[in-house]
Structure 1
Amino acid sequence: MMLLHWNLAALLFFISPLLHLPLVTHAASTSSPITQPRIIFMTSSDDFDEYEDDDDTDTDKHRPTPEVLTAVRTNVLHQEPKLCQYDPCLENQKPCAEQSGCLCPGLSSAHEPPHPPRIKALLPVNAGENQGKIEVQWCAPSSVVSSYRVVVEGHDSDDLKFDAELRRGLLESVEVGTKVCVEAVNTAGSSTPSDFSCKRYDSPESDHKLFAWVVGGGVVLLLLLVIAAVILWKHKMCQRPKRNAADGLGNPSYSTEGTL
């Protein structure tokens, strides 16, 4: 009996490695394989985009397609700015600020004195009920103006005022050479006199006299030149016969080299 037990024990000792061998091989076959990390080589941005496109092929199918906007070309017409029909030398015209669709000249602020206006002419009135008076004409400055004032040299106390829409006024008889100035006025003050806002009165009669003297002097100078030219011509004509007579009376036998 003991011998039988010893035989069974020896048999189990030899058989047991054979029984565990399939289990070991099965365990080795079922164990998870060792994975190596994936190495991605990036050469350029395009390759990276292609790699992403390959991985996201399924998601791109469900992604909405972007809307393509087409460029629309519009022709823009560049027009030159149009100036308003406004003449600063004309009176009783529509203010430039009330005109639409055009550009007006810039104006200085109403809170500062205006720029000096430009005096245009000093003309005598030769007919009508205002005969003998002097008409002064001016052009408006680029400023806010409420009225105009005409100052005559030597008559500062008799300054004349005119409305902002007017561009001319009448003065009493003014002596030749008198200085006349036009000033613009607003709530901030009056303009400062300048070379183009003041002018001395010259009578048209004196201008005609000066013109007559100039023309007369020119005619006299021309006559003097003609007379001088005639005298010189006669003097040359008188000298020619004398030379011819002297040449004809010479002795043909006379020679400077010696006697014949």
Structure 2
Amino acid sequence: MTSLRKNLAVLLLFLSASPFLHSHLSSHAASTLPPATRPRIIFMDDLSSDNYEDDYIDNDNNSFPPEVLHAVQTTVLQQNPQLCQHSPCLENQEPCKLISKRTGCLCPGVSGADEPPHAPRIHMLQPISEGDNRGKIEVQWCAPSSVVSVYNVLIEGSEVLEFQEVSRRGLIGSLEVGTKVCVEAVNSAGHSVPSDFSCTRYNPPEFSDHKLFAGVIGGGVALLLLLIIAAVILWKHQLRKKAKRDSADGLGNPSYSTEGTL
């Protein structure tokens, strides 16, 4: 009995004196227990705050959440697009592409050189009344929204006149009233199709040179007639005055004398 007690005492002393065995038993006991979980507490004071990561801490490993990149909102002011100051009816202008590149304006849509151009628009047929080109007709047109190489002016029953791509006017010979004139655009893909606005008939203005000349002649004749009538009236008036003066004086009596009777 005494020996048994001694053996138990020695065993207890050995167990208490062995730290390695104690740590092994403790780790084994800890591994058999279920892991302790801690609830995650999230503090949300202000959603618009940029420092919310200070309120979000992982209690398990004391680490911060991954950094969140905020999108920067940029306000873009949209302005109304402005068209370039480029008239299709004026010649020798700066190309619209260069104006757009310099000012940022918008050019009208233009069809490419790989398709026939649209028809130009005739602006007017105007007779020249003075200068070296007196008696000729000036054709004015507006360019289409297309790539153009040359312009052709077609005169009914006459020749075809060719003008450069930058031209918007041209001189042709005298025309009879009612003559049809057309302007067509030409490029490497073909030519434009005649239309109601690319063709017109020559109708001279009402106040042409002939009518003005006739008016001047008529006015001169009328003025001459008025002068003749006025001269006749004045002549007759002078004749009446003379007749009255003669009748007032009367005829002299030869038997009458201031000195007495003869």
- Give the TM-score of the pair, scaled to structure 2: 0.58
- Quote the offset at 1:74 in angstroms: 7.0
- TM-superposed deviation, 1:71: 8.7
| Deviation of 1:56 (Å) | 2.4
Residue 202 of structure 2 corresponds to residue 201 of structure 1: yes
Query: Which residue is 1:173 aligned to?
Result: 174
Q: 1:72 to 1:87 in 2, by over 3 A?
A: same
Matches within 5 A, 1:57-68: 57=62
Counterpart Cα distance in 1 of 2:84 and 2:186 = 24
After TM superposition, give the deviation of residue 83 of structure 1 in Å: 2.9
Counterpart check, 1:38 vs 2:9: no
Q: Given residue 34 of structure 2, which amino acid in structure 1 is its aligned partner?
A: R
**Residue identity in the other structure for 2:58:** D
2:4 partner SS: helix
Relative to structure 1, the CA distance from residue 204 to residue 69 in structure 2 (aligned partners, 3 Å threshold; closer, same or farther) is same
Give the 5 Å matches for 1:80-91: 80-91=80-91
Structure (1 or 2) with the greater helix fraction? 1
1:121 alignment partner, one of 120, 124, 143: 124
Matches within 5 A, 1:213-252: none
Q: 1:115 to 1:45 in 2, by over 3 A?
A: farther
SS at match of 1:18: helix
Single out whichever of 78-87 and 29-38 deviates more from structure 2: 29-38
Residue from 129, 134, 138 that aligns with 1:131? 134
State the partner residue of 1:16: 3
Change in Cα spacing, 1:51 to 1:72, as seen in structure 2 (3 Å) is closer
Paired AA for residue 96 in structure 1: C
Could you list the per-position Cα deviations for residues 106-132 of structure 1 after superposition, in whole angstroms to 9, with x for gaps in the alignment? 322122221111111112222333232
Structure 2 CA distance, aligned partners of 1:90 and 1:129?
23
For residues 200-223 of structure 1, what are the alpha-carbon distances to aligned partners after superposition, in whole Å with 9 as ceiling and x for unaligned?
A: 22232399x9xxxxxxxxxxxxxx
Mapped to 1, the partners of 2:34 and 2:127 lie a distance apart of 109
Cα distance in 2 between the residues matched to 1:51 and 1:153: 90
C-alpha change, 1:51 and 1:92, in structure 2 (3 Å) is closer
For residues 201 and 173 of structure 1, what CA distance do their matches in structure 2 show? 10
Distance 1:46 1:23, change over 3 A: farther
Deviation per residue, 1:45-87 (Å, 9 max, x gap): 849x999733324xx5xx9x99999998877554443433211
Task: Give the residue type in structure 2 aligned to 1:89.
Answer: C
Tell me, which stretches of 5 or more residues in structure 1 are unaligned? 1-13, 210-260
1:217-244 alpha-carbon deviations (Å, 9 max, x no partner): xxxxxxxxxxxxxxxxxxxxxxxxxxxx
What's 2:238 paired with? none
- In the other structure, the counterpart of 1:233 is none
Instruction: Tell me the equivalent position of 1:213.
Output: none
User: Unpaired runs of 5+ in structure 2?
Assistant: 44-52, 212-262
Structure-1 residue corresponding to 2:192: 191
**Which residue of 53, 57, 70 maps to 2:58?**
53
Structure-2 residue corresponding to 1:98: 98
Note the alpha carbon deviations across 1:172-226, whole angstroms, 9 max, x for none: 222222221101112222111112111122232399x9xxxxxxxxxxxxxxxxx
Partner of 2:249: none
Distance 1:197 1:72 in 2: 55
Matched to 2:59, the amino acid is D
Using a 3 Å threshold, how does the CA distance of structure 1 residues 54 and 180 change in structure 2: closer, same or farther? Answer: same
Could you state the TM-score of these two structures normalised by the residue count of structure 1?
Answer: 0.58
RMSD: 3.9
